C-alpha cells in the first residue's frame, strides 16, 4: 500500500507561484505579438504611416526579439537567470510605456525596437527557469503545460483585448496594458524567484562571439522581413543573407577555438535538442500563420470587426486551456511525448487545411470554429511534447542557452514563414485578379494558398519527426509514470 502524498511544503508553493510570475511575462510577450495587428489600421490613420512603413511597427519588434534570444539566454547561465529575467521585464515595461506615448512614426518604431529587446531578454530564460525549478518529471510536465497554455492562448487573447481597447478607447492603450502586468511581475519576482548560481564571468565573456551571433541573426532577420518588398532573389536580400551567413560561420569557427564560448559545442550533443527545435519551428510556421494571416483573412475577406476577430479565436484558447488543466500531462505521462506529438501535429495540419478550404459563404460554425479548435489542440499538445523532448537531457548549466535555441528556432521560422506566406498570398491575389476574378474571390484565393503551404510545413514536421527524434533509453515520461504508479505502456 502506497504512502499518502506528502503535504506541500513552503518551497513547493513558492515554485508554483514563481511559475505564475514567469508566465505573466510570457503573457505580455504573447499579447504583444498579436495585439498590435488589430490596431494597425488605427495606428496608420493616426500617425500617417504609408502601407510599406506600417510594417515596421511589427518588424522592428521581430528583429530585436529574434536576434537577442541566444545571447540573453547564455547571459542567464553566466550571471544568473533571475537578474536577466527581471532586467528584461523592466526594459519591456518601460518600452511599452514609450510605445503608448509615441506621437510620431519614428518614436513608435524606435520604442518597438527596444520593446522587442526587452521581450527577448525576459523570455530567453523562462524555459530555463521552469526546467531548473521543477526537476521532478511529472511536476515539470505540469509546469510546461501552463507555460504552453499562456504562449498559445496569449495570442488569441491579444486579438480579443486589442479589438476591445481599440474600439472602446484608442490604440495607445494596447501598450499601456503591459504596465500593471509588468509592475506586478517585478514586485512578485523579486521575492519569489530564486537565483541560480551562474557559471560566472571570471574567465571573461565571449564578447566577440556575442556580437557575431547577435549581428548575424539581426542582419538575417532583417533580410527575411524585407524580402517581401525587394524580392527573395534580389541583390538586397542576397547581400543581407550572405553577410548573415559569413558572420554565422565566423561565429561557429570562433566558438570552437576559445575556452569560454558563449555557445559551447557540447550543446549540440544534447539528444533531440536540435531536431525538436527544427520540428517546433515548422509547427510555429503553421501557428503564426493562423494568428496573423487568419486575423487578416477574417477582417479583410469576411468583414469581421476587431472584437469579432478576437472571439473567433476563442475555440483555440479554450482548447489550450483544457489541455493545460492536466489533460496534456496525463497524455504524455501515459503514452510518452513522442506519441502525443504526432496527433498534435496532425491536428494542427487539419485545422490549417480547413482554413484553406473555406469560401466567402462558409459560416463560422462548424468549419471555421472547428479549424481553430483543431489548431488549439494541435499547437498545445505538439509544443508541449516538443519542449519536453528538447529539454529532457539538457544539463542545468546550459539550460539558458538551450532555452534560447528553442526560442530562436521558433522566431526564425515564424519570421521566414510569415514573410514568405504573406508575399505568396499577395502575389496569388494579384494573379487571380488579373485573370478576372472578383476582388473578394482573389483575396480569398491568396489566403487559401498561404494556409495550404502552412499546412504543408506542419506536414513536413510530421514526416521528419520519427526520422530525426531519437528514442531515449530512459524516457522522462516513463519516470513520471512511475511517480504516478501507473504501468508504462509498451
The per-residue pLDDT for range 321-343, each reduced to its tens digit, is: 888 777 888 888 889 899 999 99
Q: What is the pLDDT of residue 306?
A: 78
306 and 384 within one domain: yes
Q: How far apart are CA 454 and CA 365, in angstroms?
A: 22
- 295/394 same-domain check: yes
User: Mean pLDDT throughout 423-446?
Assistant: 92
Within a domain: 1 = no
C-alpha cell at 169: 478607447
- Residue 115, pLDDT > 50, answer yes
Specify the pLDDT at position 202: 62
If you search the block for the grid coordinates 500617425, which residue do you land on? 47
What CA–CA distance (Å, rounded) separates 130 from 387?
A: 11
Q: How far out from the chain centre does Cα 201 lie?
A: 30
Q: Which of 242, 261, 280 is the last residue of a domain?
A: 261
Show the domain range for 238: 206-261
**Which pLDDT band holds residue 235 (cuts at 50, 70, 90)?**
very high
> Per mean pLDDT, which range of 308-317, 370-379, 397-406, 469-478 is the poorest?
469-478
Do 247 and 120 share a structural domain? no
**Structure-derived torsion over alpha carbons of residues 333, 335, 337, 343, reported in degrees to the nearest 10:** -130
Does residue 285 carry a pLDDT above 50?
yes
pLDDT confidence of 250, banded at 50, 70, 90? very high
**Does residue 2 fall inside a structural domain?**
no
Q: Is residue 396 in some structural domain?
A: yes
For residues 414-419, give the mean pLDDT.
80
Q: Is the pLDDT of residue 29 over 50?
A: yes
pLDDT at position 175 over 80: yes
Average pLDDT over residues 142-147: 88
**Given this model, what pLDDT does residue 156 score?**
78
51 confidence band (pLDDT: 50, 70, 90) = low
Same domain for 373 and 224: no
> Which DSSP category does 275 fall into?
H
What is the b/e burial string over 399-412, where b = at least 16 CB atoms within 10 angstroms of the residue's CB?
bbbbbbbbbbbbbb
Helix axes 207-230, 235-255, angle to 10 degrees: 160
Candidates 94, 75, 95, 98; CA nearest to 85 is 75
Confidence class for position 201, pLDDT limits 50, 70, 90: low
Mean pLDDT of 75-96: 93
256 and 267, same domain (yes or no): no
Q: Which of 235, 261, 287 is the last residue of a domain?
A: 261
Q: Terminal CA-to-CA distance of the chain, rounded, Å?
A: 25
CA distance 257 to 209: 11
Q: What is the pLDDT of residue 481?
A: 37
- The CATH number of the domain holding residue 356 is 1.20.1250.20
Q: How high is the pLDDT of residue 84?
A: 94
Residue 8 Cα distances to 12, 142, 483, angstroms: 6, 15, 16
Greatest Cα pair distance in the chain: 75
Compute the distance between CA of residue 39 and CA of residue 163 in angstroms, rounded to an integer: 7
pLDDT for 255 beyond 80: yes
* Co-location of 132 and 229 in the same domain: no
Same domain, 447 and 348: yes
| One domain for residues 118 and 242 | no
For residues 268 and 257, membership in a common domain is answered with no
- Percentage of the chain with pLDDT > 90? 43
Residue 441 belongs to some domain of the structure: yes
| Pair 135, 54 in one domain | yes
Q: Is residue 159 part of a domain?
A: yes
Asked whether residue 298 is assigned to any structural domain, the reply reads yes
Res 197 pLDDT > 60: yes
- Which pLDDT band, with edges at 50, 70 and 90, does 432 fall under? very high
pLDDT tier, 203 (very low <50, low <70, confident <90, very high otherwise): low
Residue 180 included in any domain: yes
> Are residue 43 and residue 111 in the same domain, yes or no?
yes
Residue 475: predicted pLDDT: 46
Give yes or no for a contact between 327 and 142, defined as CB atoms under 8 angstroms apart: no
In a domain, 147, yes or no: yes
Q: Are residues 373 and 232 in the same domain?
A: no
Provide mean pLDDT across the span 128-135: 88
Structural domains counted in the chain: 2
**End residue of a domain, out of 241, 261, 281:** 261
Amino acid at each position: 500500500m502506497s504512502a499518502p502524498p506528502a503535504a506541500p511544503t513552503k518551497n513547493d508553493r513558492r515554485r508554483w507561484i514563481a511559475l505564475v510570475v514567469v508566465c505573466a511575462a510570457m503573457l505580455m510577450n504573447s499579447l504583444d505579438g498579436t495585439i498590435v495587428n488589430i490596431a494597425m489600421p488605427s495606428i496608420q490613420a493616426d500617425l500617417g504611416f504609408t502601407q510599406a512603413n506600417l510594417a515596421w511597427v511589427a518588424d522592428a519588434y521581430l528583429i530585436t526579439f529574434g536576434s537577442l534570444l541566444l545571447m540573453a539566454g547564455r547571459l542567464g547561465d553566466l550571471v544568473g537567470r533571475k537578474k536577466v529575467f527581471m532586467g528584461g521585464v523592466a526594459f519591456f515595461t518601460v518600452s511599452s510605456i514609450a510605445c503608448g506615448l509615441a506621437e510620431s512614426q519614428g518614436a513608435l518604431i524606435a520604442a518597438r525596437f527596444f520593446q522587442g529587446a526587452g521581450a527577448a531578454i525576459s523570455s530567453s530564460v523562462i524555459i530555463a527557469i521552469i526546467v531548473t525549478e521543477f526537476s521532478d518529471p511529472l511536476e515539470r510536465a505540469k509546469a510546461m503545460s501552463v507555460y504552453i497554455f499562456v504562449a498559445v492562448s496569449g495570442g488569441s487573447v491579444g486579438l480579443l483585448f486589442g479589438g476591445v481597447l481599440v474600439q472602446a478607447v484608442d490604440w495607445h492603450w494596447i501598450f499601456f496594458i503591459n504596465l500593471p502586468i509588468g509592475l506586478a511581475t517585478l514586485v512578485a519576482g523579486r521575492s519569489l524567484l530564486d537565483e541560480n548560481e551562474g557559471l560566472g564571468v571570471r574567465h571573461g565573456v565571449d564578447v566577440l562571439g556575442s556580437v557575431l551571433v547577435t549581428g548575424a541573426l539581426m542582419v538575417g532577420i532583417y533580410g527575411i522581413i524585407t524580402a517581401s518588398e525587394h524580392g527573395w532573389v534580389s541583390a538586397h536580400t542576397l547581400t543581407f543573407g550572405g553577410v548573415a551567413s559569413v558572420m554565422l560561420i565566423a561565429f561557429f569557427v570562433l566558438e570552437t577555438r576559445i575556452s569560454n564560448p558563449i555557445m559551447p559545442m557540447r550543446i549540440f550533443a544534447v539528444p533531440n535538442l536540435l531536431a525538436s527545435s527544427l520540428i517546433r519551428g515548422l509547427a510555429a510556421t503553421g501557428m503564426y500563420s493562423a494568428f496573423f494571416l487568419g486575423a487578416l483573412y477574417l477582417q479583410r475577406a469576411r468583414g469581421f470587426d476587431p472584437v469579432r476577430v478576437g472571439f473567433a479565436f476563442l475555440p483555440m484558447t479554450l482548447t489550450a486551456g483544457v489541455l493545460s488543466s492536466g489533460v496534456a500531462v496525463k497524455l504524455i505521462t501515459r503514452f510518452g511525448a513522442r506519441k502525443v506529438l504526432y496527433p498534435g501535429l496532425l491536428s494542427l495540419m487539419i485545422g490549417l487545411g480547413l482554413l484553406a478550404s473555406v469560401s466567402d459563404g462558409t459560416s463560422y460554425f462548424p468549419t471555421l470554429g472547428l479549424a481553430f479548435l483543431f489548431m488549439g489542440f494541435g499547437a498545445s499538445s505538439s509544443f508541449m511534447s516538443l519542449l519536453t523532448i528538447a529539454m529532457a537531457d539538457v544539463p542545468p548549466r546550459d539550460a539558458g542557452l538551450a532555452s534560447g535555441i528553442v526560442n530562436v528556432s521558433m522566431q526564425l521560422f515564424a519570421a521566414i514563414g510569415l514573410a514568405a506566406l504573406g508575399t505568396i498570398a499577395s502575389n496569388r491575389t494579384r494573379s487571380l485578379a488579373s485573370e478576372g476574378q472578383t476582388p473578394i474571390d482573389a483575396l480569398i484565393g491568396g489566403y487559401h494558398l498561404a494556409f495550404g503551404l502552412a499546412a504543408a510545413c506542419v506536414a513536413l514536421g510530421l514526416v521528419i519527426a520519427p526520422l530525426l527524434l531519437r528514442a531515449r533509453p530512459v524516457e522522462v515520461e516513463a519516470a513520471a509514470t512511475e511517480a504516478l504508479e501507473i504501468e508504462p505502456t509498451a
